[in-house]
Every structure is written in structure tokens, then in C-alpha cells.
Amino acid sequence: MDQRVRGAASLNRAPAAAGDAAAGIAQAIELSAVRFRWRAQRSPCLSIAHFALASGERVFLHGESGSGKSTLLNLIAGVLLPEAGSLRVLDQELARLSGSARDRLRADHIGFVFQQFNLIPYLSVMENVLLALRFSPRRAARAGGGSRARAAEVARLLASLDLDPALQTRTAAELSVGQQQRVAVARALIGSPEIVIADEPTSSLDAVRQQAFMELLLEECGRAHAALLFVSHDLRLARHFGRCVAMADINLAEAGS
């Protein structure tokens, strides 16, 4: 765990201030000369000369299993720290932020959708979506001042994601996988974060569902002006995106080593 935590010199503890100026920032995410190695392993898992995601941009990142896609997302999330190189999220150099500042940056500016099990099973759909606001006053404020305004925002998001309003009070465990993934999108989008990261969100959906899900995700990200980094090994999904990046092209480290 040391490579993640020790490198984080707690120099800058005010990431939220920069976030409000995010509108004027050209690059949502920018990596240069980033190297990362899992503690147990000798050779680096990631070695990326350069990779950037402009604000509002949508990028499809693909690569075979084990090529380090999820690892890269953990780095961008500030949960892991690179052992060398520069990794900037909304113009914040992550390595120079303290651990809690990185947590705050993630809470304020990034929404996540994972492959599956995105929801906490014992919470209702409404509560699961509101979870994204619990650790971020900034996103809570953006989603609407009072709790009623927020509930209305949740309802709006769920409706635009084609979810029956009656589902709101159900617990997450009662939803189908496809419904769960759409609720996860609502959570990633609420409070308008600048960046949405999706890690194979469609791989547990059938083809028809995949198509519908992709359309909804792209539409909502566009409406929120969020940059989208979409990760998958399924190349058929690439057609939804303007730019496709192969892990093999940006990662100089030998995959699977």
C-alpha cells in the first residue's frame, strides 16, 4: 500500500477551489510519463508516455483483459498513486495532494460506473443515487439546495434514464442488472461532475440492452457536459465514440507481465 499513500505529500489541501474554475480547464485528465507498479511485481504494470482527456470529450479506451485498464482508472481516481510521472485531474497534480484531498477531488468531480454490483444492496434506489452527494457538499449544492430539490433531481435523472419512478423506493437488491446499471449512471451524473468514468458498464447486459444503455449514457453525459472515459474490451462499442484509444498504444509496459 505504500506506493499509493507515501508519495502523497500533503502540500495542497484545497482542491475544491480549483474545481469551480474547472469550466475553463482544457484537459480533464492528463497523464505524462506515468509509471505504476503493483507492489508485489517487479516490472511495471503501467508505463504511459502521454494520455489526455479533454473536458467534455468522450474517449473509448480498450485493451485486453489484464492490460491494466482498471489499474489506470484507480490511478485517475486518486486511489492509487503513480511511482513516477505527472497525473493531473482538472489541473490538480494528484501526487501533490493529501490522501483526503484526493478523496475530495474524486467526490467532487468524478462519477463512476462499474461492471456490476454498483449499488449498495440494502439501500433504496433513491439513497443509492444520493450516496454520490454524501461526501461532496459541492455536488450536493449543484444537485439542488434542499433535500426535496435533490429528490426531484434524482427523479429527473432516473426518468431520463428510462426508469420507472416507482422503483425509487425499492432496495437496490430488487432491481434487474440492467436497471442497476442505469441507477449507477444516475449516481455518476448527479451533481454534474466534470468527469464520468465507466469501467465495462455494459458487459453484464445483453446486446439490445447494451445499445439502449450506451445511448442513454452518452446522451446524459452530453447534457451534463461531462467528459467520459469509457473502458471496455468490447470493440463493437467503439462506434459510439469519436476517439478510440488502445491500451497497447499508450501503455509501454509489457501487458500481463
Ligand X SMILES: Nc1ncnc2c1ncn2[C@@H]1O[C@H](COP(=O)(O)OP(=O)(O)OP(=O)(O)O)[C@@H](O)[C@H]1O
Binding site for another protein (CB under 8 A): 1, 4-5, 70, 73-74, 77, 79-80, 99-100, 103-104, 106-108, 112, 114, 117-123, 127, 131-132, 134-136, 187, 199
Q: Out of Mg ion, ligand X, another protein, none, which partner does residue 85 contact, by CB within 5 to 8 A per kind?
A: none
> Nearest to residue 198, comparing CAs of 181, 212, 215?
181
Binding test (CB under 5 A) with Mg ion, winner from 12, 27, 70, 203? 70
Q: What single-letter amino acid sits at 53?
A: L
Bridge partners, residue 16, by sequence: none
In the complex with Mg ion, the residue whose CB is nearer, 27 or 70, is 70
> Is-contact 113 198, C-beta < 8 A?
yes
User: What are φ and ψ of residue 78, in 5° steps?
Assistant: 80, 15
Determine the Cα–Cα distance for residues 142 and 205; give it in Å rounded to an integer: 31
Decide if residue 254 touches ligand X (CB under 6 A).
Answer: no
> Is-contact 29 211, C-beta < 8 A?
no
C-alpha cell recorded at residue 244: 478510440
| Shortest Å distance, C-beta 111 to another protein | 9
| Shortest Å distance, C-beta 107 to another protein | 2
Decide if residue 66 touches ligand X (CB under 6 A).
Answer: yes
Strands lying side by side in the sheet with 227-232: 110-113, 195-199, 227-232, 58-62, 243-246
Q: Which window, 37-45, 91-99, 103-111, 158-166, contacts ligand X (CB under 6 A)?
A: 37-45
Q: Which window, 51-59, 63-71, 119-127, 217-225, contacts ligand X (CB under 6 A)?
A: 63-71
Q: Which window, 17-25, 65-73, 88-96, 135-143, contacts ligand X (CB under 6 A)?
A: 65-73
| Shortest Å distance, C-beta 68 to ligand X | 4
In the complex with Mg ion, the residue whose CB is nearer, 3 or 70, is 70
> Nearest to residue 113, comparing CAs of 174, 24, 202?
202
- Site of grid cell 426508469: 163
C-alpha cell recorded at residue 124: 433504496
Taking CA atoms, 217 is separated from 26, 43, 212, in Å, by: 22, 36, 9
Decide if residue 114 touches ligand X (CB under 6 A).
Answer: no
Q: Which window, 45-53, 62-70, 101-109, 212-220, contacts Mg ion (CB under 5 A)?
A: 62-70
Q: Out of another protein, ligand X, Mg ion, none, which partner does residue 99 contact, by CB within 5 to 8 A per kind?
A: another protein
Positions of E strands within 139-252: 195-199, 227-232, 243-246
Binding test (CB under 6 A) with ligand X, winner from 37, 69, 104, 142? 69
| Shortest Å distance, C-beta 80 to another protein | 6
Helix (H, G, I), strand (E, B) or coil at 123: coil
Q: How far is CA 98 from the centre of its chain?
A: 20
**Which residues of this chain interact with ligand X, rule CB under 6 A?**
38, 40, 45, 63, 65-71, 233, 256
**Which residues of this chain interact with Mg ion, rule CB under 5 A?**
70
